[in-house]
């Protein structure tokens, strides 16, 4: 049996047009933030849950962690329905919301840890073990005595991550954990997530729109858009899905003004043009011929698109 089972969950938000008390009679608009999504996650997996802003990622995480009630559908996490048995579920999970911290703002980090330790009733040995483990990786020792308000964003994120793991949860939900971090810290955080997944067998579900997170961490992604599941499977699958595409970058002598047939969304800046072609409809020599007919090609590169470009392309397709 899978650790997390999600069956046909839907979440409908009603948005009131105005918060003014005098206009209550205006009808509310409905948003299907999550629309009939199902998936299963097995113990020990790292799932990349990706989608654009507003796709419904946070909503899903909130339902899984017991904060929100789905409008319809059922979720079970290790046999527990999180929104019905919130407290029991809470002991098994750790959650980090990327942009908000659960640490005491004015106090040294260690104080927040001690408080959480009490709250989750973590025994002394486990606490020590976990702290040593975190310290080994992040060198927390230097940070622990500093007030949270004096930490950098990256340092705070590391501490928040550890705070969520203090009670050795089985599952870790991360909502945009790398947002706003610099490349080094991002890498550091990713390595850490990978490490705890491998060594502690913690199941991780992270939402992100940073594709590199996914490329580094998870072999399986779930892609959602406008609340609907668009893809669920290994990254390679989605790559294959689009391997007949090629990204072409051309530098020409004169400003690029041509209209090319069978080419989607050229991205043109004076003499530089980027576009994606589909090998089933077009061929590279064709394109080169078409361009050099009226212009001089100074440089040209042809690439297999990376995941980010694929997704960018994918989103554009969905929009049409």
Ligand X SMILES: Nc1ncnc2c1ncn2[C@@H]1O[C@H](COP(=O)(O)OP(=O)(O)O)[C@@H](O)[C@H]1O
Place of tokens 């290790």: 78
Per DSSP, the three-state class of 102 is: coil
Interface with other proteins (CB under 8 A), residue from 41, 55, 80, 90: 90
For the CA atoms of the chain, what is the radius of gyration?
A: 24
Give me the least distance between CB of 57 and Mg ion, in Å please: 5
Q: Is 206 helix (H, G, I), strand (E, B) or coil?
A: strand
Which of the listed partners (Mg ion, other proteins, ligand X, none) does 67 bind, with a CB threshold of 5 to 8 Å by partner kind? other proteins
Single residue of 97, 134, 138, 192 touching other proteins by CB under 8 A: 97
- Interface residue with ligand X, options 19, 53, 125, 280 (CB under 6 A): 53
* Binder of other proteins out of 18, 19, 25, 199 (CB under 8 A): 19
102 binds other proteins (CB under 8 A): yes
Asked if 218 touches ligand X (CB under 6 A), the answer is no
Q: Which stretch binds ligand X (CB under 6 A): 50-58, 158-166, 267-275, 297-305?
A: 50-58
Does residue 114 touch other proteins according to CB under 8 A?
Answer: yes
Stretch 38-67: interaction string toward Mg ion, x if CB under 5 A = --------------------x---------
- Report the alpha-carbon distance of residue 303 to residue 296 in Å, rounded: 21
Copy the structure tokens of residue 19: 């918060």
* Gap between the Cα atoms of 145 and 148, Å rounded: 9
Tokens of residue 250, six digits: 């051309």
Interaction with other proteins in 30-59: which residues (CB under 8 A)? 59
Separation of alpha carbons 134 and 172, rounded Å = 15
Structure tokens at 186: 């991002």
Residues in 57-116 that interact with ligand X by CB under 6 A: 57-59
Tokens linked to 280: 């089933």
- Taking the complex as a whole, how short is the minimal distance between the CB of residue 115 and ligand X, in angstroms? 28
- The C-alpha angle with vertex 56 and arms to 189 and 61, in degrees rounded to 5, equals 50
Name 97's bridge partners: 175
Q: Mask of contacts with other proteins, 134-163, x by CB under 8 A?
A: -------------x----------------
Angle between helices 124-138 and 153-165 (to 10 degrees): 150
* Binding residues vs Mg ion (CB under 5 A): 58
Binding region for ligand X (CB under 6 A): 13, 15, 31, 33, 51, 53-59
């Amino acid at each position: 049996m899978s650790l997390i089972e999600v069956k046909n969950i839907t979440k409908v938000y009603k948005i009131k047009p105005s918060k003014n008390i005098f206009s209550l009679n205006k009808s509310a608009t409905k948003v299907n933030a999550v629309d009939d999504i199902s998936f299963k996650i097995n113990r020990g997996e790292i799932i990349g849950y990706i989608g654009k802003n507003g796709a419904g990622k946070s909503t899903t995480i909130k339902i899984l962690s017991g904060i929100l009630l789905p409008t319809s559908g059922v979720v079970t996490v290790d046999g527990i329905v999180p929104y019905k048995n919130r407290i029991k579920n809470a002991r098994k999970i750790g959650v980090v919301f990327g942009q908000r911290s659960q640490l005491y703002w004015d106090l040294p980090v260690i104080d927040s840890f001690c408080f959480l330790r009490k709250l989750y009733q973590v025994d002394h040995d486990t606490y020590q073990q976990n702290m040593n483990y975190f310290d080994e990786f992040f060198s927390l020792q230097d940070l622990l005595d500093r007030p949270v308000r004096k930490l950098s964003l990256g340092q705070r994120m590391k501490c928040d991550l550890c705070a969520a793991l203090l009670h050795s949860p089985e599952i870790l939900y991360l909502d945009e954990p790398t947002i706003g971090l610099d490349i080094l810290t991002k890498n550091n955080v990713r390595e850490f997530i990978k490490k705890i997944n491998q060594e502690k067998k913690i199941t991780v579900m992270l939402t992100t729109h940073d594709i590199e997170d996914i490329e580094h961490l998870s072999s399986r992604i779930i892609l959602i858009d406008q609340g609907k599941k668009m893809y669920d499977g290994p990254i390679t699958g989605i790559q294959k899905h689009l391997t007949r595409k090629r990204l072409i970058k051309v530098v020409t002598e004169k400003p690029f003004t041509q209209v090319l047939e069978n080419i989607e969304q050229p991205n043109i800046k004076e003499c530089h043009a980027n576009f994606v072609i589909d090998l089933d409809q077009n061929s590279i020599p064709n394109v080169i011929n078409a361009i050099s007919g009226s212009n001089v090609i100074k440089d040209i590169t042809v690439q297999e698109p990376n995941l980010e470009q694929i997704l960018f392309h994918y989103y554009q397709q969905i929009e049409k």
